[in-house]
Structures are given as structure tokens and as C-alpha cells.
Amino acid sequence: MSDITAVGGTTTATSGPLTGALGPGGAMGKDEFLKMLVAQLQNQDPMNPMQGQDLAVQLAQFSSVEQLIQLNANYADQAASATALAQSISNNGALSAIGRHVLAAGDQVEIPADGDAADVGVTFSVGDAGGRATLTVYDAAGEEVGTRALGYIGGGKQTATLGTAAAGLEPGRYSYAVSVVDSKGNDVPVQTFITGTVDGVRYTSDGAVLTSGELTMGVGSVVEVTN
């Protein structure tokens, strides 16, 4: 691209590439390019006019940039359509889960108003060969409100009841954790789950959320659905 330079009140044109000619306003659009081209043609030195091959190269560069802009716009439209389709599929899947028992990644557990809190069960997956496990229950503020030793737990998916860890707790939603230590004193990885029968669906800015009593589970966190 030829650059326009004012010297002693006379405007002259010097030849240079289009790229790198961005001013403080950011990237050059096609309207800005055409305005600059017209100004360049009007102010070029009659004794040293723009060479035809320079103009052809610059026009080719501009055409390539315009095509890239159009491709980016088309890609953005396709991405938005794909996102909307995925959201629709997720919403339909959430509705079909109502009335079914689900297992989802998470650490929530609910103590119901009726029944024995000690009989409330939790599900978790233990890595490696397992080890000695401890179950801990926390309130909404993250404070420990109950704990009990589970003894030796093998590897794989396991279930346990809250037992004495729920002693004296009021009905409501809590969180829990299971820590496992192997025979060498090393921590064993544990994945906790939320379990419950879906009784509703709530739509949020982050997508559909399944509800089971006071428990909430994002559709993306669900790993198992059973009748």
C-alpha cells in the first residue's frame, strides 16, 4: 500500500505494503481502504504515479481480507446455531429425566423431614485398591457437623449410610466428603456423587438443572439414569 506523506505542503505517495498500516483506530475496513485509495490517487505525484502492479497487489490483499471477514462471520453464525441445537437437545433430555433415579457428580446430600437421617445413603467411587475411609458431613457454611469411620473400603463404586455422622442434624441439604487412606498412608482419590429421583427441571443461564427435593444437579454432571 502506498503511504501518503505531506512534505512542505505537498502530498506525495510512497510505496509500502498494506499490512502493518494500522493506526490507533484498529483494523482497516473496506470503507476506510477505499477512502484511502481515492485520496492516494488524487494526491500522487504526477511525475511518479502509482505503478499498476502495486495497485493490483493491494486490491488482491483487500479482497483476501474481505473474504476472511466473511468466513469468520459465517463461522460465528454456524457456532451459534450449533450451540442453540445442543441447548435444545439438553433441555429435552432434562425433561425426559423427570421421575427417574439419577446419579450425578457432586457432593450434596439431603436429610429428609421424615425417616431416619442415619439411613440416608451416599454413593462414591474409590480409586486404586481402596483403603480406610472416613465420611464427613458439612453444613451450608462449610462447617463440619458430623463424621464417622467407614472402615476398610475397596476400590470402585461404593455406597454407605450417614449413620452417626447425621446424629442431631436438622432436615435439609448438606454436603459430604469421603477421605480414603491406603496401607502406606497415602491419600486415595475419591469421586462423590449426588443421588435422587428427579422431580423437576429448572432452566438457568448455565443450562438445564435437575432437582430432587432440595438437591440440584446440572444436566452435564449426570452420569447415570435409571427407572
| Residue 37 CA neighbour count, 13 Å, CB half | 15
Its pTM stands at: 0.61
Tens of pLDDT, residue by residue over 204-226, are 887 889 999 999 998 889 999 89
The CA distance from 38 to 33, in Å, is: 9
| In contact, 158 and 110? CB cutoff 8 Å | no
pLDDT band at 49 (very low <50, low <70, confident <90, very high): low
- Residue 12: pLDDT above 70? no
The CA distance from 50 to 36, in Å, is: 13
Least confident span in 62-76, 175-189, 196-210: 62-76
What is the Cα 123 distance to its own chain's centre? 26
Give the per-residue SS3 of 110-163.
EECCCCCHHHCEEEEEEEEEEEEEEEEEECCCCCEEEEEEEEEEEEEEEEEECH
pLDDT confidence of residue 45: 59
C-alpha cell at 37: 485509495
Contacts of 43 (CB under 8 A, 6+ apart): 4, 11, 12, 13
Least confident span in 37-41, 88-92, 163-167, 177-181: 88-92
Higher pLDDT, 2 or 127: 127
**Residue-wise DSSP of 168-194:** TPPSEEEEEEEEEE-TTS-EE-EEEEE
pLDDT confidence of residue 90: 57
